[in-house]
Amino acid sequence: MELSRRAWLGTAAVTTLSTALPRLTRAQGAANTVRIGVLTDMSGMYRDNTGPTAVACARQAAAEFGNRGFTVEVIEADHQNRPDVGANLARQWFDQGVDVVLDVPTSSVALAVNQVAREKNKVMLNSGAATSDLTGAQCSPNTIHWTYDTWMLARSNGGATVRAGGDTWFFITADYAFGHALERDTMNFVRQAGGRVLGNVRTPFPGTTDFSSFLVQAQASRAKVIGLANAGADTQTCVKQAAEFGLTRRGIRLASLLLFINDVHGLGLQTAQGLTCTETFYWDMNDQTRAFTRRIVARTPNNYPNMIHAGCYSATLHYLKAVAEMGVPAAKASGMEAVNRMKAMPTEDDAFGRGSVRADGRRIIPSFLFEVKAPAESRGPWDYLKLEQTTPAEEAFRPMAEGGCALVRS
Amino acid sequence: MDEIFGIPIPLLFGQLLLGLINGAFYAMLSLGLAIIFGLLNIINFTHGAQFMMGAFVAWMLLSLGSADAARIGLALLLLPLVVLLLDWLWLKLRLAQPIRLGLGVFVSAAWIAACFLENGGPVARALGAMFPNGLSYWWALLIGPIVVGASGVLLERLMIAQLYKLDHLYGLLLTFGVGLIIEGIFRNEFGSSGLPYRIPPELSGAWDLGFMFMPVYRGWVVLAALILCLATWLVIEKTRLGAYLRAATERAELVQAFGINVPLMITLTYGAGVALAAVGGVLAAPIYSVNPQMGVNLIIVVFAVVVIGGMGSILGSILVGFGLGVVEGLTKVFWPEASATVIFVIMAIVLLTRPAGLFGRA
């Protein structure tokens, strides 16, 4: 063997590192330009749930807002679901004059960027990440958590499942900030409703390709419900393999705590039917959401917008309205002031209707519990969900006093 | 008692079995890598992408009648096969090398351009019209390796063959880059959230083994992997062709002097290794999520398997593949958080104590 092992291992290490080199779009322009950087997953498992469609939504919002005395520039970067990469990109962006970091899916990355935005006094409008800690223990005057969070998912989906008789749970949890938060919040609801948690298993993220072992463990616990505290491809694989191992046929319920319409598309209705999911936006809710969706799908023909995407649109629009009211120099000077102005104004747009932003940075809107349709019920492309239950805005999210956010106490 | 370390024995049996199934995938993929490395001295980092292509071909074949993207994708993926067949024809017609090259480029350009016409062009439309219901899993098992293998052959002829004279690191970098490009293209075209592929009806259902519920399909995967591994090992270790291959690895010039077409043999070996990856991909399609990242997740582990087994050792990669599947399966019970790491810990230990790998020759 001519090739030395050291050289081969060394190269393997270098090649792995080289994939981590960030793709970076440079921000340049005049002082009268507001810069919005969409920091998202462009290449990993959350790409369709966030990614290019989130960028398209931010661009659509900027285009609809038009020119009201200042220009808007939307740039994008791939954080690769890695907190270090995300924090570095955000830092670089802020130093180069970016005013807002938008989307930031993957809770571990969001929590890291949250710190950077606060330190630099810029704005983070988070649509993609789930952890309720963003408006709880780690809340920040520079951050608004726009679209959904783990508490709201747990309340809607977890609560409904226990009421439907699923009172013993086993959790399959992605082993990072998001999974932990979703598991914690759902466990609380299960226990409050009189249910019991029989066990849990933490699965490595990313990098778990096979969940059968975890599903068999869940089955062995004799729990009636398996709570999937994961997302994207992980959830899809779990659902697929649960059907394969006959779990669903034996009467075990799968509680897909975070499931997007894009995941349903990936699974196919045949496999996904009967699953429940909680969203704050569905494209086929009313005339406004359908009109909004038509505008976005023109930009991303293969991917319909989900609540994260719609949140990017809505957050961008609301931020730009606040900037127009307070003036570009003031908005650029202090991210905290811009966020305060956003909190003072009610939100309104085609995707979500009316809403408001709370002092702790939580945007308040109704949440909807959907069930995935059977193939026969679906009347057209992407006609996947039917509404089961609506939680009004005031009840959908964690009460401010319970979150432990320092902004509220002071 | 019926418990070991607090884990009920039936559950433990189940986990051993599941580990064995995952090990089947590791074995199949590392086998292809080991063959390519053993005979070509190329570290084929495109392997993950080729595994993924196998799964995508399966999806495309099934969706020929229903999805434009499937028709166009398959039409494009058929190009390497078409070019190779035409080239063979031109060779029989005794056309000169530059003419063959020119014709090949022309046909490729025309083919690709045709695929970007409205409705996917004539080839895609013909595919859709011929197979309105798509082609089943069994066809995929046959066609997938051929189509992906042909692309591998073309890759070897056009690119990798240029690098044999250079240090092996160049081959590694080239294949790594090609793999990234292929994955990037698939991600752009098909997104990241995966495509639906159902277990074929003949293999759906499950056996109740008492201690666990064993899906028929997983049993089939283990069986298929065992047959493939055994067959490959027999071909290489016990047949005349295998003897030529092994001889060519040691002394290529000498073997060539006996009148054996060594470059052709090397090309076909690479194609066969790639075809093995594609078979793995087709087998994986019904149980894993069919998405562009599916190869990346698996390939790192598979490389560790090859290193532990001993670079280029075929028996080593088969045994270690199955073995590590079981070890990983057990880790998923006793310490789930570490299940993605345990293989690399073993790799480190093996490298420190037996640098040539468990079955490698130092």
Mind listing the domains of chain A with CATH numbers? 33-148+286-365 (3.40.50.2300), 151-279+367-396 (3.40.50.2300)
Helices B294-309, B9-40: crossing angle, 10 deg rounding: 80
Residues in B 153-182 with any Cβ partner in A closer than 8 A:
167-169, 172-173, 176, 180
Residue A7 has φ and ψ, to the nearest 5°, of: -60, -40
Residue B302 at interface with chain A, using a CB cutoff of 8 Å: no
Burial A24-61, CB ≥16 within 10 A → b, else e = eeebeeeeebbbbbbbbbbbbbbbbbbbbbbbbbbbbb
In the prediction, which pLDDT does B311 show? Answer: 81
Signed CA dihedral, B194, B198, B199, B204: sign only: positive
Tokens 């995407």 sit on residue: A309
pLDDT digits (tens, 9 = 90+) for B281-317: 999 998 887 888 888 878 888 989 999 988 878 888 8
Going by their DSSP bridges, the two strands A353-357 and A347-349 should be labelled as antiparallel
Q: How far apart are CA B4 and CA B178, in angstroms?
A: 47
**Cβ(B69)–Cβ(B299) below 8 Å:** no
How far, in Å, CA of B297 to CA of B225, rounded?
Answer: 19
3-state DSSP call for residue A172? strand
Contact check, Cβ <8 Å, A5/B311: yes
Closest-CA distance of chain A to residue B166, Å: 11
d(CA A170, CA A200): 5
Distance from CA of A230 to the nearest CA of B (A): 14
Name the maximum alpha-carbon separation found in chain B.
77
Mean of the per-residue pLDDT values of chain B = 88
State the pLDDT confidence band at B1, using cuts at 50, 70 and 90.
Answer: very low
Residue A42 to residue A77: CA distance in whole angstroms? 8
The C-alpha atoms of residue B305 and residue A81 are separated, in whole angstroms, by 26
Comparing A76 with B41, which gets the higher pLDDT? A76
Amino acid identity at A19: T
The answer to whether the beta carbons of residues A313 and A288 sit under 8 Å apart is no
**A with B: how many residue pairs have Cβ under 8 Å apart?**
158
Q: Which is higher by pLDDT, B65 or A227? A: A227
User: How many angstroms separate the CA atoms of A152 and A132, rounded?
Assistant: 8
B298 touches A: beta carbon within 8 Å: yes
According to DSSP, the residues that pair with B45 across neighbouring strands are: none
Residues 318-347 of chain B with CB under 8 A from chain A are 329, 332-333, 336-341
Torsion-angle region of residue A268: left (phi > 0), alpha (psi -120 to 50) or beta?
left
Tell me whether residues A11 and B172 touch, CB distance under 8 A.
Answer: yes
Cβ atoms of residues A91 and A120 within 8 Å: yes
- Minimum-distance CB partner of B333 among A206, A207, A217: A217
The CA distance from B195 to B189, in Å, is: 12
* Cα-based distances in Å from A316 to A126, A290, A295: 11, 19, 16
Whether the bond between A366 and the residue before it is cis, its omega within 30 degrees of 0, is no
Please check whether residue B36 touches A, CB under 8 A: no
Average pLDDT estimate for B201-224: 85
pLDDT on residue A1 = 38
Q: Is A250 helix (H, G, I), strand (E, B) or coil?
A: coil
Of A5, A216, A270, the CB nearest to B212: A216
**Pairing relation of β-strands B7-8 and A33-40?**
unpaired
Q: How many Å separate Cα B174 from the centre of its chain?
A: 17
Q: Which residue has the tokens 């990614």?
A: A51
Residues 6+ apart with CB under 8 A from A73: A27, A29, A33, A34, A35, A36
Q: Which of A201, A217, A233 lies at the smallest CB-CB distance from B289?
A: A233
**pLDDT(B263) > 90:** no
Q: What DSSP character marks residue A374?
A: P
A209, B180: Cβ pair inside 8 Å? no
C-alpha span between A351 and A388 (Å, rounded): 19
- Of chain A, the end-to-end C-alpha distance in Å amounts to 68
Q: Is the CB of B193 less than 8 angstroms away from the CB of A233?
A: yes
Backbone dihedral region for residue A153 (phi beyond 0: left; psi -120 to 50: alpha; all else: beta): alpha
The structure tokens 């009920």 sit at B8
* Of the candidates B193, B298, B297, B312, the residue with the CA atom closest to the CA atom of residue B245: B312
Report which secondary-structure segment, H or E, holds A297.
helix A287-297
For residues A373 and A155, what is the distance between their CA atoms, to the nearest angstrom? Answer: 22
Which secondary structure element, helix H or strand E, spans residue A153, and what is its range? helix A150-153
| Cβ <8 Å between B172 and A8 | yes
- Return phi, psi of residue A33, to 5°: -115, 130
Q: Would you call A311 helix, strand, or coil by DSSP?
A: helix
Which two structure tokens, joined as six digits, stand for B300?
A: 């790192």
CA of B215, closest CA in chain A: separation in Å?
6
Query: Which of helix, strand or coil describes residue A102?
Result: strand
- Between A215-229, B119-133, B260-274, the lowest mean confidence (pLDDT) is in B119-133
DSSP H helical ranges for chain B: 9-40, 47-62, 68-92, 97-115, 121-130, 137-158, 168-190, 216-238, 240-250, 252-257, 262-284, 294-309, 314-334, 342-353
Distance CA A104, CA A114 (A): 10
Quick one: tokens of B53? Answer: 């292509």
Nearest to B287 among A11, A12, A244 (CB): A244
pLDDT tens, position by position, for chain A (410 residues)?
A: 344 555 555 555 554 544 444 444 444 445 789 999 999 998 888 888 999 999 999 999 999 998 888 999 999 999 988 999 999 999 999 999 999 999 999 999 999 999 999 999 999 999 999 999 999 999 999 999 999 999 999 999 888 888 888 889 999 999 998 999 999 999 999 998 888 999 999 998 877 888 988 998 898 888 999 999 999 888 998 998 898 888 888 888 999 999 999 999 988 898 899 899 999 999 999 999 999 999 999 999 889 999 999 999 999 999 999 999 999 999 999 999 999 999 999 999 999 999 999 999 999 999 999 999 999 999 988 999 999 999 999 999 999 989 889 888 65
Q: Tell me the CA distances in angstroms from B124 to A4, B64, B290, one per residue in order.
A: 46, 9, 22
Contact in structure between B75 and B120 (CB atoms under 8 Å): yes
Q: Do B289 and A7 touch (CB under 8 A)?
A: no
Pairing of strands B213-215, B206-208: antiparallel
